[in-house]
Amino acid sequence: MRWQVSAGLWRRRRRPLRLRRNSPRRSRRMASPDAIMDAAYDSISGPATQERDWNRLRSLFLPGAHLISTAPDASGKYTTTVMSVDEFVAAAAPYFKQNDFFEREIWSHSDRYANIIQRFSTYASSRAKGGEPFARGVNSFQLLYKDGRWWIVTIFWQEEDHDYPIPAKLLPGKK
């Protein structure tokens, strides 16, 4: 058991108290929707020789957040995979250790109401920073402004394929 001070009294706590550090650098990268989007893409990008900063990635997400992919299975039927941030890290880390991977936003559109944002973010994945894409797709980010910063609540994505090309309205220079 751990102890914690609450309203000036010591009380038992069943789980350890987890504190988040709020450094000025971390606050800047979460201070705007664009900053948190840049941090999200940057956190997963790099050469195979570069260990990703998984703690940085985790710090972008609201506790309980999910990452959801949809893709065709071997039979061509579209399925979804719902992951916690830790499940995503466990699935992605081995791939990133063996493959150069850089992902960047090439177009976006955001709608905001009060403290929530829905952002469609078209991405391009390449083997070199700014390189020719080997894949593209659309991420749907849900963001929440809480406690003086932006949090990622959900990332839901689908990679472009022959059945679902990215529509022109979701690409750069198109309306």
- Residue 98: phi and psi, rounded to 5, are -110, -10
Pairwise CA distance, residues 54 & 90, whole Å: 10
DSSP assignment, residue 28?
Answer: H
Check residue 8 and give its pLDDT.
38
Check whether 36 has a pLDDT greater than 80. yes
Average predicted confidence (pLDDT) for the chain: 87
CATH of domain 24-170: 3.10.450.50
Contact 75, 82 (CB under 8 A): no
Check whether 28 has a pLDDT greater than 60. no
Pairwise CA distance, residues 106 & 172, whole Å: 6
Check residue 175 and give its pLDDT.
53
In percent, how much of the chain has pLDDT > 90? 81
Check residue 135 and give its pLDDT.
98
- Confidence class of residue 25 from pLDDT cuts 50, 70 and 90? low
Q: DSSP string covering 42-111, please? A: HHH-B-TTSPP-HHHHHHTEEEEEEEEEEEE-TTS-EEEEEE-HHHHHHHHHHHHHHS-BEEEEEEEEEE
Check residue 119 and give its pLDDT.
98
The model's pTM is: 0.82
Check residue 174 and give its pLDDT.
60
Contact 137, 159 (CB under 8 A): yes
Check whether 130 has a pLDDT greater than 70. yes
pLDDT in tens, 74-114: 999 999 999 999 999 999 999 999 999 999 999 999 999 99
Check whether 44 has a pLDDT greater than 80. yes
42 burial via Cβ count (<10 Å: 0-12, 13-18, 19+): middle
Q: What is the mean pLDDT of residues 30-40?
A: 93
